[in-house]
Amino acid sequence: MRTLHHAPTLLRPHCTTQLQSTQTVQKMDKMMNANMPQLRSSSSVSPPLTSLTNKVGKRWKEYQGVNNWNGLLDPLDENLRAEILRYGHFVEAAYKSFQFDPSSPNYATCKFTKTTHLERCGLHKTGYKVTKHLRATSGIKLPSWVDKAPSWVATQSSYIGYVAVCHNKEEIKRLGRRDIVVAFRGTTTCLEWLENLRATLTNVVPSTATGIAAAEPCSVEENGAMVESGFLSLYTSKVSDDPSLMSLQDMVRKEIARILKTYEGENLSLTITGHSLGAALATLAAYDIRKSFLRPPHVTVISFGGPRVGNRSFRRRLEEQGTKVLRIVNSDDVITKIPGFVFDEVEKKEGDVEGNGGEHVASFQRWMRKRVEEVQWLLYSEIGEELRLCSRDSPYLRGINIATCHDLNIYLHLVDGFVSSTCPFRATAKRFLHH
């Protein structure tokens, strides 16, 4: 099961909790992919630096949210639009570099080397270089029957994203600083899918594994700050039988520490971006980095289609840190309205499912409800500032379903087209659709 031209989403699982359910989900996956409109930009690769007309320069902190994007979202500032799309392309590169083929011995690894990564993903002349590939590990304890399952079912640790640093002098000048990017893809593997079902809130517990001096003392309960247990598990878990393999948290901390030391004294920014599950991990990573370093750079999260991550205390702690979060939200995307996977509004959207696929999706919905009927609903809270978009505003989108509303390329299409709340879509949008 693989997607060729569009990003996999939280709503397209690669397995179920039981092996006999796999074929049903595979059929649903094919049905959704067949109906998925695909996006193309006017150019298959990113434009060269010299063709970029938007100037960030001295106003870069505004575009990174120092004033909470006040006056830049409605109407959407053209420079901010370009920046959001630029970071969205970095997230696309995390998807495109993932080895989807479960029959491959390299399943769930990065297909490209660090030196060729961005170019192989179609991002030429970005001015950035990849410095680290990142892996996330599930903390789920698997049942005994997994030993008889295909190896891809029990893949515990998977390539989840990368760190890249701006190294081109011309781009550094345009941006007004040296930018560090951490990009995360969304849910892809079986165990990541199951982690998303763990929607109970759990205390944020600081890790001391890296030995990095914390910016401030913190208690075990972090003043009541709680986050979704599945997301935190993927961020902090390690491979139990191989202590040499670090958690995602430790990998991020170690690489950021190295980069900060390398470029000490320079004007730096850290932009953490992700889609779906990756949006949740981006928020956790931003929180963790701000707490782990005595003098962290300006930290900004640009998230696409992210679920709710934590409670009000967690949001308050982020705000106290000075971490800036810009959530790109499609109002038709149910994932942005929930912690994990509880579809309170799915029945309202049955009209979005067309053709023979309706029966498959209805079966999937019933399966999902059974998996999460015991989930505790605690007080999740929206985090950061929101750029709210809507699939129905695009004249190019017809007959989309709950899966396409969550697709990353749909998000980038809507960002490119959005003008303001009174003029939701511009006629000159460069990204377009075809089947």
- Residues identified as active-site: 276, 333, 406
As a whole number of angstroms, the distance between CA 305 and CA 335 comes to 7
Strand-pairing partners, residue 162, are 133, 183
State the amino acid at position 54 in one-letter form. N
CA distance 117 to 127: 13
Burial track 341-367 (b if 16+ CB lie within 10 A, e otherwise) = bbbeebeebeebbeeebeebbeebbeb
How far apart, in Å, are the Cα atoms of 55 and each of 16, 78, 81?
47, 10, 12
CA distance 27 to 31: 6
CB count in 10 Å sphere of residue 109: 16
Other CB atoms within a 10 A radius of the CB of residue 113 amount to 11
CB-based contacts of 367, cutoff 8 Å, min separation 6: 16, 21
CA distances from 349 to 331, 346, 406 (A): 12, 5, 13
Residues in contact with 354: Cβ distance below 8 Å, sequence separation at least 6, in sequence order:
35, 399, 401
Query: How do 432-434 and 38-40 pair as beta strands?
Result: antiparallel
202 bridge partner residues:
227
Which residues are bridge partners to 325 per DSSP? 301
d(C-alpha 199, C-alpha 308), whole Å: 10
Q: Which amino acid is at 143?
A: P
Rounded to whole angstroms, how far apart are CA atoms 42 and 46? 10
Half-sphere exposure of 309 toward its Cβ, with a 13 Å CA cutoff?
33
H or E stretch covering 28: helix 22-34
Residue 356 to residue 349: CA distance in whole angstroms: 16
Nearest by Cα to 406 from 327, 339, 306: 306
Q: C-alpha distances in angstroms, 378 versus 139, 226, 302?
A: 22, 10, 25
